[in-house]
């Protein structure tokens, strides 16, 4: 087996998750916020694969969850970009601070 | 420290560094390129974990699909050379603190729990994945598979409808609208949007 302890791999996925959270907190541009969400989804995928490989090697459920998450991330990115382009047509900007019509 | 471990630490440093740069650089196009490198690094991590199928899916879908889509949308909506405005210092400090505390807390839990691998070898094959994916008995994933295919269809139709240009506001034929336009009305009244600077 590998010589890397499992917590080091989990360190990478946790750090990637919180890097994505940092981007989500600080960025105000919709495309960069979408990129932050992609990073977060990737860190979750790493976790699923690692837990499946090291803790339940005779099952495949983590692999399936990863595949479905990747699929749904692709659909989500496509819809988000369609919304962004539509918003750009009406507002000439994709800054979330400028799209405040539906804010309460 | 074996060669495998050294490769793992190089890959992780690459993933985290590229991810951090993608989230902190102020030029949006560079941000997309750093994201691309980070996603390739994650695919390399899957290769290192010896799940080559997921690595291939990661490269095909993320690197080949999503990042290209993001880059296209950057070209459609932004002047890519322009820098994004700087965030207020207060917001940056608050975000850094929140993220550091969250990371510390989460990783402390992982460290204390001390996951122990079972040591058994993980043997997957693509045929195993395929037969379980289309299996309708217990443990099969046929229902999620169908649901995801419907989701993809719905999101495809939804994307086309959302990103389509709005239909013209007046309910006449194109010829009548052309006549109106020739009458000297401004174009905005006809609902024609022009994207001048793309």
Provide the domain limits for residue A50.
6-91
Residue B172 confidence (pLDDT): 54
Do residues A62 and A49 lie in contact, with contact meaning Cβ atoms separated by under 8 Å? Answer: yes
For the record, the structure tokens of B75 come out as 């070209």
- Residue A98 in any domain: the answer is no
Inside any domain, residue A1: no
pLDDT digits (tens, 9 = 90+) for B152-171: 999 999 999 988 877 665 55
Closest chain A C-alpha to B173 CA, distance in angstroms: 24
Contacts A71 to B, Cβ<8 Å: 61, 148, 151-152
Put simply, the answer to whether B61 touches A74 (Cβ < 8 Å) is yes
CA–CA dist A104, B76 (Å, integer): 30
So what's the pLDDT on residue B173? 57
User: How many structural domains comprise chain A?
Assistant: 1
Six token digits for residue B172: 């006449």
Task: Note whether B49 contacts A19, CB cutoff 8 Å.
Answer: no
Note whether residue A100 is domain-resident: no
Report if residue A11 sits inside a domain: yes
Residue B36: its pLDDT value, please?
A: 95
Cβ-defined contact of A16 to B1 (cutoff 8 Å): no
Q: Three-state DSSP class for B64? A: helix
Residue A12 within a domain: yes
Candidate from B23, B57, B156 with C-beta closest to A22: B23
A103 pLDDT exceeds 80? no
**Which residue in the block uniquely carries the two structure tokens 């290209």?**
B68
Q: Identify which of B188, B181, B151 has the alpha carbon closest to the alpha carbon of residue B166.
A: B188
In a domain, A103, yes or no: no
Instruction: List domains and CATH numbers for chain B.
Output: 1-83 (1.20.120.1200), 124-165 (no CATH)
Domain CATH code at residue A82 = 1.10.287.3510
Are A32 and B151 an interchain contact pair (Cβ–Cβ within 8 Å)?
A: no
CB contact under 8 A, B162 and A58: no
Closest by alpha carbon to B14, among B47, B41, B50, B44? B41
Q: Does A102 score more than 60 pLDDT?
A: yes
Q: Is there a contact between B23 and A39 if contact means CB atoms under 8 Å apart?
A: yes
Helices (H), chain B: 3-24, 28-48, 52-57, 67-77, 89-113, 126-133, 142-163, 174-182
Question: What integer pLDDT is reported at residue B181 of this predicted model?
Answer: 58
Q: What is the pLDDT of residue B48?
A: 94
Nearest to B38 among A6, A39, A74 (CB): A39
Q: How far is CA B156 from CA A67, A86, B7, B159, in A?
A: 19, 15, 39, 5
Q: Do B115 and A10 touch (CB under 8 A)?
A: yes
Residue A35 domain flag: yes
Predicted ipTM beyond 0.90 = yes
Cross-chain CB nearest to B23 (options A10, A23, A74): A23
Using CA coordinates, name the residue in chain A closest to B41.
A42
**Quick check: pTM over 0.90?**
no
- How big is the CA angle at A56 (ends B138 and B117), to the nearest 5 degrees? 170
Query: Which residues in chain A have their CB less than 8 angstroms from residue B111's CB?
Result: 7
Low pLDDT (below 70) residues in chain B: 80-81, 167-198
What one-character DSSP code corresponds to residue B83? B
Is there a domain that residue A101 lies in?
no
Whole-angstrom distance, CA of residue B164 vs CA of residue B158: 10
Any A CB within 8 A of B148 CB: yes
């Amino acid at each position: 087996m590998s010589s890397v302890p499992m917590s080091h791999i989990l360190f990478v996925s946790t750090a990637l998750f919180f890097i994505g959270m940092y981007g989500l907190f600080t960025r105000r541009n919709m495309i960069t916020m979408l990129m932050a969400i992609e990073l977060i989804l990737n860190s979750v995928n790493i976790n699923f694969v690692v837990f499946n490989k090291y803790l339940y090697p005779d099952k495949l459920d983590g692999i399936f969850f990863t595949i479905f998450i990747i699929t749904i991330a692709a659909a989500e990115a496509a819809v988000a970009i369609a919304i962004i382009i539509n918003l750009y047509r009406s507002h000439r900007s994709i800054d979330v601070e400028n799209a405040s019509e539906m804010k309460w | 420290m074996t060669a495998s471990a050294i490769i793992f630490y190089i890959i992780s440093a690459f993933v985290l560094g590229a991810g951090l740069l993608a989230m902190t650089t102020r030029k949006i196009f560079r941000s997309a390129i750093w994201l691309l490198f980070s996603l390739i690094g994650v695919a390399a991590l899957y290769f290192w974990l010896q799940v080559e199928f997921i690595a291939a899916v990661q490269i095909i879908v993320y690197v080949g699909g999503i990042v290209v889509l993001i880059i296209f949308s950057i070209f459609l909506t932004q002047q890519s050379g322009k820098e994004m405005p700087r965030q207020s210092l207060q917001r940056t400090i608050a975000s850094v603190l929140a993220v550091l505390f969250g990371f510390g807390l989460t990783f402390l839990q992982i460290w204390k729990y001390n996951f122990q691998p079972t040591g058994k070898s993980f043997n997957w094959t693509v045929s195993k994945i395929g037969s379980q994916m289309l299996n309708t008995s217990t443990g099969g994933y046929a229902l999620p598979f169908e649901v995801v295919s419907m989701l993809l269809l719905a999101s495809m139709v939804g994307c086309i409808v959302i990103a389509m240009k709005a239909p013209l506001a007046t309910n006449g034929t194109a010829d009548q609208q052309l006549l109106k336009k020739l009458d000297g009305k401004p174009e905005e009244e006809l609902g024609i949007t022009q994207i001048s600077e793309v």
